[in-house]
Chain A
């Protein structure tokens, strides 16, 4: 792991079971959107909604 990332990783890990539970819920939400077949939903929500994603990470993921 890159050295400069370690403090943030530690902070994420410190969020503990609360974060793990929330991530599991989020994964279910993302799967249910993708399963819905809606052109506006799914695992590419940001590309669909916000091509101007430069405000965040410069490019849609």
Chain B
């Protein structure tokens, strides 16, 4: 491959389109594939951190048609409604999202979501026999409690998206999985093929043939009943349509979104929230600053403009992807956390995640199309 010309993903934007907030490190589950290092500890975000973040976010939100604040964990509902309400209170003009395992959701939580117009994403891995790695701290399956929470959402008419971790992608799985989510009643679905990152060291070098077949079969299932917005398949179709129209180079953002993730203690990690909570002799704690010391917009702008430390190495990695990978226009470059946790540094290129969730995805969709 020579002289790459893809024009998107050059440098880091100084204004994000959303921020990720960690109200607590604690998760009441202990899923086998989880990357979070401190999920057994309940370290909670002080309201002062939320107030500091809101000081920048409210300005960004006022200048944008939409701006999202994503409450992510740990398990955000584990802090309780009162605490979450106090953390949300400083924000103005934003969309609040919550990513939850749903095990604690009851009627009162549903009333809270409705009152505060919180958009809900539920993490659920499919039918019980496919959800054996999503467990309570006792080791018992979390499945029944997850479905209990989802039943509450449905009783209250609260729309929800679903994120599904697939730990064993293989032929014959996709149709069963998609059927489950059709019955579950979610309006959108994202498939996260398990990743080797954080404290999850399990290998994810799944066979390419099985991976492609999984995506091809998921394409078939979606085509037969496209009621659910299916993130991966629909994105691949958008890309394929743009490629046919000759507009595929315009699909990627012009710049990388900085995606500030604010840890419970106020530390800001850009680009890959999965890096929060880790330390490395070469890269330190991966943070670009703390909102209790400096305004978030200054932290983001300084990091984007100076690209010091691991961020500069990561940008070199993005350019290496641009120069070497023909899937760059579809993908935008391997993610920072996948590079780090798979390669030990940020300027490598293709990862297991690239192969599983980008390359095999696009090839699987095309494989299905060729046969139909």
- In the assembled complex, the Cα of A20 lies from the Cα of B369 at a distance in Å of 8
Chain B contacts for A4, CB-based, 8 A: 1-6, 322-323, 326, 328
- In the assembled complex, the Cα of A46 lies from the Cα of B363 at a distance in Å of 21
Selected from A8, A27, A46, the residue in CB contact (under 8 A) with B327 is A8
Does residue B85 face the partner (Cβ distance < 8 Å to A)? no
A3 touches B188 (CB 8 A): no
B188 touches A49 (CB 8 A): yes
B188 touches A48 (CB 8 A): yes
- In the assembled complex, the Cα of A60 lies from the Cα of B240 at a distance in Å of 17
Give the residues from 133 to 165 in chain B that come closer than 8 angstroms, CB to CB, to chain A.
Answer: 159, 161, 163
Selected from A23, A25, A59, the residue in CB contact (under 8 A) with B244 is A23
Chain B contacts for A39, CB-based, 8 A: 159
Chain A contacts for B234, CB-based, 8 A: 26, 45
Does residue B42 face the partner (Cβ distance < 8 Å to A)? no
Does residue B187 face the partner (Cβ distance < 8 Å to A)? yes
Does residue B196 face the partner (Cβ distance < 8 Å to A)? no
Task: Tell me what chain B mostly uses at the interface: helix, strand, loop, or mixed.
Answer: mixed
Does residue A18 face the partner (Cβ distance < 8 Å to B)? yes
What does the 1/0 interface line of A17-39 toward B look like (CB < 8 Å)? 01111110111010001000011
B253 touches A61 (CB 8 A): yes
Chain A contacts for B188, CB-based, 8 A: 40, 45-46, 48-50
CB distance from A50 to the nearest CB of B (A): 5
Does residue B329 face the partner (Cβ distance < 8 Å to A)? yes
Chain A contacts for B272, CB-based, 8 A: 54
B192 touches A19 (CB 8 A): no
Q: How many residues of A contact B (CB 8 A)?
A: 46
A46 touches B231 (CB 8 A): yes
Does residue B249 face the partner (Cβ distance < 8 Å to A)? yes
Selected from B249, B252, B330, the residue in CB contact (under 8 A) with A2 is B249
Query: Residue among B2, B159, B232, B246 with the most chain A CB within 10 A?
Result: B159
- In the assembled complex, the Cα of A12 lies from the Cα of B363 at a distance in Å of 9
Which stretch in B45-53, B64-72, B288-296 binds the other chain? Answer: B64-72
Give the residues from 214 to 232 in chain B that come closer than 8 angstroms, CB to CB, to chain A.
Answer: 219, 223, 226, 229, 231-232
- In the assembled complex, the Cα of A4 lies from the Cα of B2 at a distance in Å of 7
- In the assembled complex, the Cα of A60 lies from the Cα of B190 at a distance in Å of 13
- In the assembled complex, the Cα of A59 lies from the Cα of B259 at a distance in Å of 8
Does residue B235 face the partner (Cβ distance < 8 Å to A)? yes
Given A7-B326, A12-B244, A26-B226, check contact A55 B372 (CB 8 Å). Answer: no
Does residue B104 face the partner (Cβ distance < 8 Å to A)? no
B70 touches A5 (CB 8 A): no
- In the assembled complex, the Cα of A6 lies from the Cα of B68 at a distance in Å of 36
CB distance from B357 to the nearest CB of A (A): 8
A52 touches B159 (CB 8 A): no
B97 touches A57 (CB 8 A): no
Chain B contacts for A26, CB-based, 8 A: 226, 234, 237, 241
Does residue B251 face the partner (Cβ distance < 8 Å to A)? yes
Given A26-B226, A29-B226, A33-B229, check contact A50 B121 (CB 8 Å). Answer: yes
A58 touches B161 (CB 8 A): no
B240 touches A15 (CB 8 A): yes
Chain A contacts for B66, CB-based, 8 A: 47
| 13 further contact pairs, Cβ within 8 A, besides A4-B6, A52-B20, A60-B17 | A4-B5, A5-B249, A8-B329, A14-B370, A18-B371, A19-B244, A19-B366, A29-B226, A49-B187, A50-B161, A52-B72, A52-B273, A56-B231
Tell me the B residues contacting A by CB distance below 8 Å: 1-7, 9, 17-18, 20, 66, 68, 70, 72, 95, 97, 99, 119, 121, 159, 161, 163, 187-188, 190, 192, 219, 223, 226, 229, 231-232, 234-235, 237-238, 240-241, 243-244, 246, 248-249, 251-253, 256-257, 259, 271-273, 322-323, 326-332, 335, 357, 362-363, 366, 368-372
Give the 9 A-B CB pairs with smallest separation, nearest first: A2-B5, A49-B188, A49-B161, A19-B369, A59-B257, A45-B229, A51-B68, A15-B369, A4-B4
